[in-house]
């Protein structure tokens, strides 16, 4: 995924980011994601605790805009 494409999608939060290894990251708010040239840094909710993850843009397979809240 290109950084500019992901940056444009941030206005459609919440987002669901799917990786090529099957992992999914639910982004609640555009304030919880920073897009760089090759990676993106995200804060995700892990059973009530905010966790940090660094994702390679090259390994993102899809981004679902306006994703519904998942029931973790």
Tokens of 40: 């993106």
Answer yes or no: is pLDDT of 20 > 80: yes
Give, in order, the Cα–Cα distances in Å from 54 to each of 4, 35, 49, 68: 17, 10, 16, 22
Strand positions, DSSP E, the chain: 15-19, 24-27, 33-35, 39-46, 49-56, 60-65
pLDDT digits (tens, 9 = 90+) for 51-67: 999 999 999 999 999 87
Q: Model pTM?
A: 0.86
Expressed in angstroms, the distance from the first to the final Cα of the chain is: 27
Report which DSSP code applies to 28. Answer: -
Answer yes or no: is pLDDT of 46 > 90: no
pLDDT at position 68 is: 78
Q: Which fold has domain 3-65?
A: SH3 type barrels. (2.30.30)
User: What is the domain partition of the chain in residue ranges?
Assistant: 3-65
Q: Name the average pLDDT for the chain.
A: 91
């Amino acid at each position: 995924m290109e950084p500019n494409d992901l940056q444009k999608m941030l206005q459609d939060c919440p987002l669901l980011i799917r990786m090529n290894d099957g992992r999914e990251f639910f982004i609640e708010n555009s304030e919880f994601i920073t897009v760089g040239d090759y990676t993106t840094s995200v804060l995700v909710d892990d059973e009530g605790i905010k966790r940090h993850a660094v994702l390679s843009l090259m390994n993102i397979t899809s981004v679902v805009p306006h994703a519904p809240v998942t029931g973790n």
